[in-house]
Chain A
Amino acid sequence: MAVTQLVGSKIHRREDPRLITGHGHYIDDFTRQGTAYAAFVRSPLAHARIKSIDVTDASKAPGVTGVYTARDFKSLLAGTHPAAPAFVAEKKFVPERFPIAEKEVCYQGEIVAAVLAETKAQAADAAGLIQVEYDELPAVMDLEKALEKNSPKSHTDGPDNVCWDFTYTGPDITEAAFKEADVVVKERILQNRLAPVPMEPRGVLAEFEGFDKKLTIWMSSQNPHFIRLFVSGAMGLKESQVRVISPDVGGGFGSKISPYPEDYLVPTLSRLAERPVKWIETRTESIQNATHGRGQFYDCEVAAKKDGTLLGMRVVQYLDVGAYHGTFGAFQPVACLMAGGAYKWKGISARTVGVLTNRVPTDPYRGAGRPEATHLVERMVDLVALELKMDPVDIRRKNFIQPKDFPFTQSFGLVVDSGDYDKALDKALEHAGYAELRKKQAELRKQGRYMGIGFSTWIELCGFGPSAATAPATGGIALVESAQVRVTPTGSVLVYTGTHSHGQGHETTFPQIVADQLGVPYESVELRHGDTAEGTAFGYGTYGSRSLAVGGVAISRAVGKVIDKSKKLAAHMLEAAEEDVVFEHGAFHVKGSPDKSKAFGEVAFASYGMSLPEGMEQGLEAVAYFDPPNLVWPFGTHIAVVEIDAETGTPLITKYVAVDDCGNIINPMIVDGQIHGGIVQAIGQALYEEVVYDDDSGQLKTGTMIDYMLPSANEIPTMIIDKTITPSPTNELGVKGIGEAGTIAASAAVINAICDALSPLGIKHVDMPATPDRLWKMMKEARQ
């Protein structure tokens, strides 16, 4: 244990000085000698047959070194774009996907040709000269219409538009619950399609060395080792021939997990052109082609007793898969498994339907299924409360899983590890001044004003994950995490993690843990990640709020192994029995003789010398892979207070309280930052954002930052952030995850507040985004 406690301290991020002064290393900062620049020609149509591609003019354009179409890649790429089972064990139809279209394009943006030129501008100009003739086909845009018998097909050679139709638990599970119900509440709840919009768009720089057949890829990714696995396989290379380097990554939010067409094409272009190839997408390409989030609707019924006891829920999730199955696109159905929220139910019947359309695929986006689950259950609970004229706080308390119930096996057999939901709720109510708020609401209502209070008592599951659950979900690779800790002769501690920060601050927080555990100066610990040539054989990446709960524990265990070896060596150096040696404050001493000690650094140096105990090898390093026994289950309460302008319908968040519990905290400043960011993204979904396509033509209408409406800091209220701490019993650090929590919680709080504000008008449900125009229309109709 260290003298000064780093874990729990608000240490400023080590990454920040370089990132905010222009010394970061993002993909576009890298250059290789002889690089050619790639530009892609993309289908402007959502669905069409390709009649012809004329590259004559493009081939002759200034600076162009090559123009490529599908047939140039056919012999060099195979088995791209795997579709992981994730949470849907059986699929009905998974369209085949090749990174570049040959006969049919199925989403606007699908690549049909590539150009290489000496400069970026020349590549862009030449791409504009490629002439593609299309035969337009009907675009499948609407989920319900897509499921109708004679619907046009998203892929002309597919049987229909059903990617999957999977029932987790049938309606029989809830038959009894619905029979004994006093009230049944039914609603359809929409989840607007969202673009992740990371600050740094995607990019790939690839250098294929033909002589040695070695490939180096620099790219903006959340999981470099998976990219190495997928790309090497598809290119017919061994994993050992491929190195993936993901340096500073400017945000991902889930959109940089799955392999993209460009991830296969750019390295292959380098192979074809025999020079390095670089491609950085534009913002419009990013909004159009990076995988989208959400894009679902839910039909849900809840049965309850008149005293507010929740009995059963029946839910069907309709999910817009897009034109192709995103590699982890079947992750979002976890929303069904989490539809019960923080409550005890007699039973939940759940089914998920994945619908193919002619849009870019959906894939995990911050929260990946858990925001949808929270939004669903928190809306439904409010609807039940409204029906029963019950306070939304009271109905929640009545149905919470109680502290004494943990570990609690929920409706789908998942084991919730720990929680104290009332405690977080109490704290949030206090911060919000709930009784005063209701008084104020009553007064404002008398004045004809619309004020609402909305709750989200969220829980979630994260820290993916236990091998038993995750290996089948990925198709064989358990999502454990690896760490390697190396101590050099002069005491530098190098920590290699298989996670990969893309904004999470791991370079700060992981050294906090290690420095405390080893009792060494914080500055002597360096974190390394993102380069498959360093560290362990495999790393699993950062997503699903897993880095600390899985990666951090792996690091701690690797450090533990280092301490074990050091202790043996220290005992040898102190001429004492190992069981008589104590490790404390960064030094080993003999029990009862604290002055007889060896500092960790001394032991480290000695480990490279000659006087080692019998059978001990030189060196001081260790590898650990941590397979968590369970997921982890953070929770909390968010409260939003909203006023809606009676004349313009404009919603304004006047107060926002978040009390969240992620177990033990490494760096409170970073946790607060994660919560702020997560809440903002949820407010974005609730009030501003939507990827909009023309219903008939499938044209993307929100292709720029003007039209895809991200809220700015000006639009976000000052948030009141607090916490409770319920350590997780699942790992020895007692930690959970918090990266997605804000996004999981907040949309329900905001929409519940809007519905509460409008309830005097008889409005029960509002869908996202709740724009002024939409609210005004609803209010106008309600008043008539």
Chain B
Amino acid sequence: MIPAAFEYARASSVDEASKLLSKFGEDAKVLAGGHSLIPLMRLRLAQPTALVDINGIQELDHITERGGKLHVGALTRHVTIQNSSVVQEKLPLLAEVAGEVGDNQVRNMGTMGGVIAHADSAGDYPTLAVILDAEIVTNKRTIPAKDFFKDLFTTALGPDEVVTEVVFPVANGPHKYVKFRRRLFDWAIVGVAAQKLNGGWRIGLTNVGPTPVRATAVEKALHDGATPEDASQHASDGLDPAGDLRASPEYKKHLARVLTKRAIQQAQGQ
């Protein structure tokens, strides 16, 4: 289909981007990789009045490690994250996840900032951000991940606020992301992230609710010495997933348990 009419402006700095967003009003949207936004616009499910293109803001495309933290710029493409030796060394779970996003075209265009700000419940990075207590840095403030994701497609960002980077802890212990989908390039039907950090496990679930779910009951069971098999039974505790064409709620809860077990086992196997 053809998108509804919109205005367009290219920002050359974060400051300019913020000013443009203010100017165009709350129905303006930031355009980075565009691979979530443009399909929505073509179906007219999203009809932003203006697009503020931030692809020219080079300083947002970076990966740096300092002081035990991995700083990933908002404009960093998935393919860059996937192939970065810094990420592979300091937070290999992130490199693994980046390599499984969409397909080649999506990985060449899609960005860290875009996935975080779009907050699709099937997005993979938000799950990592939540379980690793990452911080989302904007042009105005720093927001802890657990306070950032409010609801499906809804974050704490204000109308003229732009994500500039996401800060993760360094973690290179046992890790695994299990992404269950029908086709290689699909969104996760259910995803499970497992990361050993500071002696304890962090377990997160993708697409079992409107926002990422941290499987604290599983983490506790593992802490108390349960086997992956037994601990993973708690993965569906408190879950009330919506059913859709790909999976019934019942099946999603079942997958949560099975995939959690597999994620922990495969992480341990490293």
Instruction: List the interface of chain A (C-beta within 8 A of B).
Output: 120-121, 124-125, 128, 282, 284, 647-648, 688, 692, 701-702, 704, 707, 709, 711-712, 714-715, 771-773, 776-777
Which residue on chain B has the smallest CB distance to residue A647? B258
Flag if B1 contacts A282 (CB, 8 Å): yes
Q: Select one of A647, A702, A714 contacting B245, CB under 8 A.
A: A702
- Least CB distance from B184 to A in Å reads 4
Q: Select one of A124, A647, A712, A771 contacting B183, CB under 8 A.
A: A712
Closest 10 CB pairs of A and B: A714-B184, A773-B251, A124-B2, A282-B1, A647-B258, A121-B2, A773-B247, A712-B183, A707-B245, A715-B183
Instruction: List the interface of chain B (C-beta within 8 A of A).
Output: 1-2, 4-5, 43-44, 180, 182-185, 245-248, 250-251, 254-255, 258
Flag if B180 contacts A648 (CB, 8 Å): yes
Besides A704-B43, A773-B247, 16 other A-B contacts (C-beta < 8 A): A124-B1, A124-B2, A125-B4, A128-B44, A282-B1, A688-B182, A688-B183, A707-B245, A709-B183, A714-B183, A714-B185, A772-B251, A773-B251, A776-B251, A777-B248, A777-B251
A157 to B17, CA, bound (A): 59
A714 to B2, CA, bound (A): 30
A-B CB contact pairs (8 Å), 6 listed? A121-B2, A124-B2, A709-B183, A714-B184, A772-B182, A773-B246
Complex interface: chain A residues within 8 A of B182 (CB): 688, 709, 715, 771-772
- Least CB distance from B97 to A in Å reads 18
A711 to B183, CA, bound (A): 7
- Least CB distance from A704 to B in Å reads 7
Complex interface: chain A residues within 8 A of B245 (CB): 692, 701-702, 707
A91 to B183, CA, bound (A): 42
Q: Select one of A282, A704, A712, A772 contacting B185, CB under 8 A.
A: A712
Complex interface: chain B residues within 8 A of A120 (CB): 2
Complex interface: chain A residues within 8 A of B247 (CB): 773
- Least CB distance from A152 to B in Å reads 26
- Least CB distance from A529 to B in Å reads 32
Complex interface: chain B residues within 8 A of A702 (CB): 245
Residue of A702, A712, A773 with most partner-chain B CB within 10 A? A773
Q: Select one of B184, B254, B255 contacting A712, CB under 8 A.
A: B184
A360 to B260, CA, bound (A): 42
A39 to B43, CA, bound (A): 15
Which residue on chain A has the smallest CB distance to residue B245? A707
Complex interface: chain B residues within 8 A of A715 (CB): 182-184
Main secondary structure of the interface of B (DSSP, over half): loop
Complex interface: chain A residues within 8 A of B250 (CB): 777
Complex interface: chain A residues within 8 A of B5 (CB): 121, 125
Complex interface: chain B residues within 8 A of A712 (CB): 183-185
Complex interface: chain B residues within 8 A of A124 (CB): 1-2
A273 to B241, CA, bound (A): 53
A538 to B182, CA, bound (A): 46
Complex interface: chain A residues within 8 A of B180 (CB): 648
Complex interface: chain A residues within 8 A of B43 (CB): 284, 704
Complex interface: chain B residues within 8 A of A773 (CB): 246-248, 251
- Least CB distance from A124 to B in Å reads 5
- Least CB distance from B64 to A in Å reads 34
A717 to B117, CA, bound (A): 37
Flag if A776 contacts B183 (CB, 8 Å): no
Complex interface: chain B residues within 8 A of A688 (CB): 182-183
- Least CB distance from A279 to B in Å reads 13
- Least CB distance from B235 to A in Å reads 13
A711 to B247, CA, bound (A): 17
A442 to B255, CA, bound (A): 28
A777 to B4, CA, bound (A): 43
A380 to B258, CA, bound (A): 35
- Least CB distance from A710 to B in Å reads 8
A776 to B248, CA, bound (A): 11
A771 to B247, CA, bound (A): 9
Which residue on chain A has the smallest CB distance to residue B44? A128
Which residue on chain A has the smallest CB distance to residue B261? A647
- Least CB distance from A454 to B in Å reads 20
A282 to B3, CA, bound (A): 12
A486 to B258, CA, bound (A): 68
- Least CB distance from B153 to A in Å reads 15
Complex interface: chain B residues within 8 A of A776 (CB): 251, 254
A128 to B4, CA, bound (A): 10
A701 to B245, CA, bound (A): 8
Which residue on chain A has the smallest CB distance to residue B247? A773
Which residue on chain A has the smallest CB distance to residue B42? A282
Complex interface: chain B residues within 8 A of A647 (CB): 258
A300 to B4, CA, bound (A): 51
Flag if B1 contacts A284 (CB, 8 Å): yes
Complex interface: chain A residues within 8 A of B251 (CB): 772-773, 776-777
- Least CB distance from B232 to A in Å reads 11
Which residue on chain A has the smallest CB distance to residue B243? A773
- Least CB distance from A450 to B in Å reads 15
A647 to B4, CA, bound (A): 45
- Least CB distance from A694 to B in Å reads 11
Complex interface: chain B residues within 8 A of A701 (CB): 245
A442 to B269, CA, bound (A): 29
A714 to B248, CA, bound (A): 24
A712 to B184, CA, bound (A): 8
A709 to B187, CA, bound (A): 12
A647 to B43, CA, bound (A): 37
Complex interface: chain A residues within 8 A of B255 (CB): 648
Which residue on chain B has the smallest CB distance to residue A773? B251
- Least CB distance from B60 to A in Å reads 28
Which residue on chain B has the smallest CB distance to residue A707? B245
Complex interface: chain A residues within 8 A of B246 (CB): 771, 773
- Least CB distance from B161 to A in Å reads 29
- Least CB distance from B139 to A in Å reads 32
- Least CB distance from A259 to B in Å reads 24
A145 to B182, CA, bound (A): 32
A776 to B257, CA, bound (A): 14
Residue of A128, A715, A772 with most partner-chain B CB within 10 A? A772
- Least CB distance from B182 to A in Å reads 6
- Least CB distance from B266 to A in Å reads 14
Complex interface: chain B residues within 8 A of A707 (CB): 245
Complex interface: chain B residues within 8 A of A284 (CB): 1, 43
- Least CB distance from B50 to A in Å reads 17
Complex interface: chain A residues within 8 A of B185 (CB): 712, 714
A171 to B63, CA, bound (A): 75
- Least CB distance from A476 to B in Å reads 40
A707 to B39, CA, bound (A): 13
Complex interface: chain A residues within 8 A of B2 (CB): 120-121, 124
Complex interface: chain B residues within 8 A of A125 (CB): 4-5
- Least CB distance from A448 to B in Å reads 15
- Least CB distance from A703 to B in Å reads 9
A284 to B40, CA, bound (A): 13
- Least CB distance from B123 to A in Å reads 15
A772 to B183, CA, bound (A): 12
A543 to B198, CA, bound (A): 65
A704 to B248, CA, bound (A): 20
Complex interface: chain B residues within 8 A of A711 (CB): 183
A616 to B4, CA, bound (A): 67
A776 to B184, CA, bound (A): 20
- Least CB distance from B27 to A in Å reads 17
